[in-house]
Amino acid sequence: MSAYIESLSPEEWEEFCAIMLRYHYTAKNFWEVPDEDQGDLGLEFFTIDGTLYQCYYPDLNVDMATYKRKIQRKITEDLNKLEKYASEIVVLLDDIRVKQWVLIIPKLKSKELISHCNKKKKELLKKNLPFIDSNVFQVKIETSASFPEGELFAKNIHCKAIDIPLAE
């Protein structure tokens, strides 16, 4: 993980991920779900290939137990929203069948989080949600390193600030 990513706020991390994933998938294959009008249904982004994305920027300076607990809670809460908002998500996705749900975090620090994803996948599949492709569905954690070209593009775009002096 780079010092640049370490310096981001949770809001900046979400913006960074949007730029990175839009670049990776291209605009025509990527949807950002706005949260200003009655929330985002627990989805930040989805793609034409059936990937649902959620971003999370945990405090990286906490002890390992706290780090794992916060990420596990985030995964559990957001996967529960898939069932809670299933009727709305079906309409939002239209004909897209979900093959994976991905939590993007700045740094994966524990293999136990992978095990938690596998456990939650099995629990979610038992719910038989209509938009889930149960033959291939996965719950995963990724970092920006999974999208190297998109990460580089997002760093170049996101870190450029426009400084326009104001006339006095």
pLDDT per position as a tens digit, 46-81: 999 999 999 999 988 899 999 999 999 999 999 999
- Secondary structure class of 26 (helix, strand, coil): coil
**pLDDT score of 2:** 78
Total-model pTM: 0.90
From CA 3, how far away is CA 100, in angstroms rounded?
A: 29
Q: Quick one: which of 153, 155, 156 has its CA closest to 23? A: 153
Count how many residues are written for the chain: 168
pLDDT above 80: residue 12? yes
- Secondary structure class of 46 (helix, strand, coil): strand
